Structure 1
Amino acid sequence: MKRERRIRLWPRGLVGRVMLVLLASIGLVFVVSWTLYEHAEAYIEDGDRLDLIGERLATDVRVLDGAAPTTRPMLTTMLSTNDLRMIWLPVSAPPDREGEPARMSELHRQLVAANPVLAHAQLRLHPGRPGKWTDVTGTILLADHSQIRFTAPDILRSHVVTRGLATATIVSLSVLLAAGMLVHALSMPLRALATVADTVGSGEWEPLEEKGPREVRRLAHAINEMQKRITHLIEDRTEALAAVSHDLRTPLARLRLRAGFLADAESQESIEADIDEMEAMVGGVLAYLSGEKKREPSRSIDLAAILTTIADDAHDRGAVVIYEGPHRLPMCLPPLAMKRVFTNLVENALHYAGSASIRLTAERGWVIVDVEDEGPGIPDLEIGRVTTAFYRVETSRSRKTGGLGLGLAIVKREVERTGGSFTLENRLTGGLRARVMLLTAV
């Protein structure tokens, strides 16, 4: 069975589609030029026709002035055409007392300037009847005060420059609109690619639909395959680290048990301190990896209550933590993640300064939490690096805390997941300020 071949008007490739857009634009421009040319010709024809009517009226005045009154009705019938219809009225006919409208003045001036006979014949012009607005009627007085009443049909067609400009504007906008729609359709797959590229490696990636021009489909397929490889690498790394960190708990527990049987108290204390440090490292790694693999859903919480609870817990341990802010501030946030964020910041301040202060404020759609200490601070060159996972500042921060450099990395990750921002800065009076900014409408 033969496969039916269909003729595709829309090209498959990006080059073909761009060429089609250009071809369509050129075609529309040609139509615009042709339309304007037709209007220009009509405008010239109307000018020639007006001059011809003026000359005929002037000639007819001379002819009828020299003819006997009895022959004038027949002459006006003979002189009438489709472009100029005339009738003769005797002296006894009522005169034309209707005033000439102001919009007829330009037409009157053109006719009189080209044919001075019409000025002496007291030419009067009037617009046509309702439904015949493009017609012009008028009267001319002959030497014996009899009248010629005439009608010039369809002489007021609006082939003026403003109409030509309006036509050019409308068609030009149509060209721009058509070209814009086509280019927009071409660029949609590219914008989708840019959006997906921003999420590569973030864990929030969704496969990109492979559609559009041939080149774009190939690029989309390449990005999908690249993202799959990156996802597998991240998952393998995360599972390996999680497995190693989890498996270390068992030998650490055995070491702690064996250290309890040592007779040397000093050696026992040193070994248990090392075990505590290693357990803290394992706990930090597991906390970081557990938050990386899955995200906690947001729900309504009282941020002020969480901060006061952290301050009270530290106070119960004998630490100095001061809270400043409202007693209640409801927000929609992941509760455990936010508690971990501010606990890490407070513990960080207590480790390196011995005290901390928490300030909670709300302004212009943002909730700002500042955790400040009076410790040694961080060198300016290192501030941008300390939020990187497993990075430690050797020169200004003690290693006695047993951390792996994951506390601030967890803070940055969880805050940015809520749409907020996390910054560190050295205070002018000494110490460090950690600022968390959260959107009120999350």
Structure 2
Amino acid sequence: MRFGLTARLLAIGASALLALWITLIAFFYWTSDLSRTANRLPPEQLKAIIDLVSNIAPDERQLALAALQSSMLEVRITDSSSVPAAGDDLADSADFALYRQFLGEKLIHIQLGHNTEGLRPGLWTRTARPLEFWVALDNGNILVAEARTPFVVTFYGLPAGTGAGLLGTLFACIAFYMLHREIRPLTRLASAVDRMDPSGDPIPLPPTRATTPEIGALVRAFDRLQNRLHAMTRSRMALIGGIQHDVRSFATRLRLRLEQLPDDAERERATSDIADMIDLLDNALLTSQAGVGALNEEMLDLAELLRAEIADFRSAGLPVILETDTTQAETWIIGDRLALRRIIGNLVDNAVKYGRRAHVTMAVEEGRARISIEDEGPGFSKEERELLLEPFVRAEPSRARKTGGAGLGLAVAQTLLKAQGGTITLADGKRGGLVTVTLPLFETT
């Protein structure tokens, strides 16, 4: 079971309220002098005991006394010589006026009894001593009724366990507060980890001076992990960039040498292979940059970019038709120009290769720009629509280079679109296969 910040704050508040409630109860017991009220026999009960003992035969009184004994009351008969000194007498106190009214002259003496059950006099004297009532019987003997508190009473008149409950509640409140205090760095750490970007600058992690050693160690471990990720990303991008530069240099040399081939057909095939190799390398580099968030961001007019790309395709002799007038309105987005050109190029190239022609339309709806590329081919079956977005999967089953590429066009487009907040879907259009991509528009507010 997971508890959020609200639940922990409610637990802290409940503990504080419970501590306040126990404090109020303890204050009530303390101000009410619980021990003094609990060990006083009701005057009616004391008078009934006197009448009972006085009205039975002397030889039966011991039996009656045994029946009256309990943990809260001890009744015994003694002679008049055992009456304590008058200095400890409480009978004349105003607190016992009701007893004098019920018992009259029979009430001889009232005093606090001796400590029982091994209670320490210095600590328990005020609250735990029983109360003794000395009453004269008709035959000259003295009846002593000793009333004890019905429960253990602690220092300052509080019931046993009140202090422990109060301290326990206070400790629980403090523990909840400390838990909340230790959880806050973890919450800030989780927020910082979510903002980590291996291609950007390191994110400052929360300070750990006031936290436990374990949380401090965790924060430092994430800091080391972040630094290692940045180092790996830099080395990876440097490696791919170096490979791309060297391969392009080699490809340029090969093209110069291919010009010397006497066979025109062989020269065209070799040039096409080199172009495919460079294209595959460019796709791999862009995909790697998108995977680590290293794509460039600039404000672009998508309509103008699409119009320029279609013009380049048509000048190259490709059957591409732009069916939407993109000169009337500007469509501003934030994206990577090279990645967007790669996306459009891959989708148009696939449409021409597998569907003979590419019909391109563009629209703006619900804060997103939508580009649809429809071909005149057989379309996509339901089983192919998800599968074709995977790398190295082609709609044409053979692996011959003359019938298609390496199967990376749609996969690269999907990766580049996701890195820029876009989507791609495959469907069947009116003419053939339909590929739709969307990108979020730039919002000025």
Distance 1:193 1:370, change over 3 A: farther
1:328 Cα shift? 0.7
Letter matched to residue 30 of structure 1: A
SS of 1:234 mapped into structure 2: helix
Offset from partner CA, 1:222-275 (integer Å, 9 cap, x none) = 222223223333332332222222212233233333333333444334333322
Alignment of 1:203-242 (within 5 A): 203-204=199-200, 206-211=203-208, 212-242=211-241
Contact 1:379–1:396 under 8 Å retained in 2: no
1:31 Cα shift? 0.5
Distance 1:412 1:219, change over 3 A: farther
* Aligned-partner Cα distance in 2 for 1:377–1:206: 46
* Aligned-partner Cα distance in 2 for 1:407–1:198: 30
Contact 1:422–1:435 under 8 Å retained in 2: yes
Offset from partner CA, 1:317-336 (integer Å, 9 cap, x none) = 33232333662134242362
Contact 2:427–2:433 under 8 Å retained in 1: yes
SS of 1:324 mapped into structure 2: coil
Report what 1:13 is aligned to.
none
Contact 1:203–1:231 under 8 Å retained in 2: yes
1:355 Cα shift? 2.2
Distance 1:433 1:273, change over 3 A: closer
* Aligned-partner Cα distance in 2 for 1:333–1:411: 17
Contact 1:21–1:183 under 8 Å retained in 2: no
Contact 2:379–2:429 under 8 Å retained in 1: no
Report what 1:321 is aligned to.
321
Report what 1:334 is aligned to.
335
Report what 2:436 is aligned to.
434
* Aligned-partner Cα distance in 1 for 2:175–2:429: 57
Letter matched to residue 209 of structure 1: P
Report what 2:273 is aligned to.
274
Contact 2:198–2:226 under 8 Å retained in 1: no
Contact 1:377–1:432 under 8 Å retained in 2: yes
Distance 1:38 1:213, change over 3 A: same
SS of 1:257 mapped into structure 2: helix
Matched, 1:26 2:23: no
Letter matched to residue 233 of structure 2: I
Contact 2:372–2:435 under 8 Å retained in 1: yes
Matched, 1:308 2:297: no
SS of 2:323 mapped into structure 1: strand
* Aligned-partner Cα distance in 1 for 2:308–2:414: 21
SS of 1:277 mapped into structure 2: helix
Alignment of 1:126-275 (within 5 A): 186-198=182-194, 202-204=198-200, 206-211=203-208, 212-275=211-274
Offset from partner CA, 1:35-70 (integer Å, 9 cap, x none) = 58989xx9xxxxxxxxxxxxxxxxxxxxxxxxxxxx
TM-score by length of 2: 0.51
Contact 1:245–1:285 under 8 Å retained in 2: no
Contact 1:349–1:373 under 8 Å retained in 2: yes
Contact 2:12–2:177 under 8 Å retained in 1: no
Matched, 1:298 2:298: yes
Report what 1:366 is aligned to.
368
* Aligned-partner Cα distance in 2 for 1:321–1:416: 26
Offset from partner CA, 1:111-146 (integer Å, 9 cap, x none) = xxxxxxxxxxxxxxxxxxxxxxxxxxxxxxxxxxxx
Contact 2:189–2:206 under 8 Å retained in 1: no
Contact 1:285–1:406 under 8 Å retained in 2: no
Report what 2:357 is aligned to.
355
Alignment of 1:72-151 (within 5 A): none
* Aligned-partner Cα distance in 1 for 2:13–2:311: 72
Letter matched to residue 365 of structure 2: E
* Aligned-partner Cα distance in 1 for 2:278–2:443: 38
Distance 1:402 1:348, change over 3 A: closer
Number of positions where the alignment pairs a residue of Structure 1 with one of Structure 2:
287
SS of 1:328 mapped into structure 2: coil
Unaligned runs of 5+ in 2: 1-6, 32-172
* Aligned-partner Cα distance in 1 for 2:191–2:386: 26
Contact 1:424–1:435 under 8 Å retained in 2: yes
Distance 1:378 1:309, change over 3 A: same
* Aligned-partner Cα distance in 1 for 2:412–2:232: 20
SS of 1:333 mapped into structure 2: strand
Offset from partner CA, 1:77-131 (integer Å, 9 cap, x none) = xxxxxxxxxxxxxxxxxxxxxxxxxxxxxxxxxxxxxxxxxxxxxxxxxxxxxxx
Matched, 1:424 2:425: yes
Higher Rg of the two aligned structures: 2
* Aligned-partner Cα distance in 1 for 2:440–2:283: 24
Distance 1:359 1:271, change over 3 A: closer
Unaligned runs of 5+ in 1: 1-17, 43-176
1:433 Cα shift? 1.8
